[in-house]
Structure 1
Amino acid sequence: MKFAGKLCALPLAGAFLTQIAIAEPLTVQANTTVPVKLNGTVDSVVLGNQRVADVAVHNENLIFITGRSAGTTNVMAFNENGDQVYAADIIVTVDTSNLVTVNRSGEDYTYDCAPECVPTPSLGDERSFFSSVIGQENSLDRRAQGK
């Protein structure tokens, strides 16, 4: 085999050694969870931004991704040798069909009204309303985690 032929074959050989499953972007609604089945065994999972999404490892072939807030992040999974075996961008959307924004004296207050209206702070809402609701949500998260 000529030298030029060997150089062309080298990238192809590398592609067969490590098969990375690069998935299509995964769209998840905020506050919902989707299962992701993985080919091969996974030893570790890395998530780009934990404020946008969360990941829970069920077993070495199944993870669950939960949308936390609107935005984009990514997830990568590695086998025990450190080889990347899965990668996907995660797009978290918000279902706005039940959202109601009340404007009082020029300040916005957002509520999710399905089936009853509960405060759902959104960027641009009145500062103390936003801070108060976020503080309560953070407190509930800490309690749920046993902190």
Structure 2
Amino acid sequence: MTTRPRRILSLLALITLVFGAGSVRAADTGNIIGVAVDHARILEIDRPAATVIVGNPAIVDIEVLSSERLVLTGKNYGITNVVILDASGDTILDEQVAVQTFEASTVRVYRQANRLTYACAPKCEPTVTIGDNSDGFLQATQQYQTRQQMAADAARR
């Protein structure tokens, strides 16, 4: 096998490992559970959780659906850890969680050192992404906030 196909296969394996399917069983996890920013992922554990600890809640949020089913939501880029304990204080899960950008259906436009990100589904629209040019980021944020406020005002009428 040549170097290029190996790299492609390695990249596909890494993507599958980090982002995998939509649901993760605690017993099936390796060292890192992957979730994309602004995306949710189901985490199933093999016995009831009594305590859920998130190392950095600014990176990942956890909602408890049931004692054995939780939802991880990627809030910001980075790596943190999640510890889940049972009623006896024994560890059910102690894993790293990596929150990364969601690349599918996005386009990045570079103008020298400035970057803008567009979400394309199928029409490309500006989206707010950390690392984008501050002018484009602020403009997209302000437009989004204005739109949300208009919708909230209309709903009150």
Question: Normalising TM by the smaller chain, what interval?
Answer: 0.5 to 0.7
What percentage of residue pairs aligned between the two structures are identical? 25
- Mark the structure with the bigger radius of gyration: 1
- Candidates 50, 54, 69, aligned match of 2:76: 69
C-alpha separation in 1, matches of 2:39 and 2:57: 15
RMSD: 3.0
- Candidates 125, 129, 147, aligned match of 1:122: 129
C-alpha separation in 2, matches of 1:35 and 1:127: 33
Number of aligned positions between the proteins: 120
2:118 maps to what in 1? 111
- Which stretches in structure 1 are left out of the alignment for 5+ residues? 1-20
Higher relative contact order (CA 8 A, sep 6+): 1
Per the TM alignment, residue 52 of structure 1 is displaced from its structure 2 partner at its CA by: 2.3
Give the AA of the match of 1:66: T
Per the TM alignment, residue 47 of structure 1 is displaced from its structure 2 partner at its CA by: 1.3
Change (3 A) 1:94 1:26: same
Give the AA of the match of 2:51: S
Aligned partners of 1:23 and 1:87 also within 8 Å: no
C-alpha separation in 2, matches of 1:113 and 1:61: 36
C-alpha separation in 2, matches of 1:90 and 1:63: 14
Give the AA of the match of 1:100: V
Aligned partners of 1:72 and 1:90 also within 8 Å: yes
| Structure-1-length-normalised TM-score | 0.63
Per the TM alignment, residue 92 of structure 1 is displaced from its structure 2 partner at its CA by: 2.0
Per the TM alignment, residue 103 of structure 1 is displaced from its structure 2 partner at its CA by: 4.0
1:44-63 maps to which residues of 2 (within 5 A)?
44-63=51-70
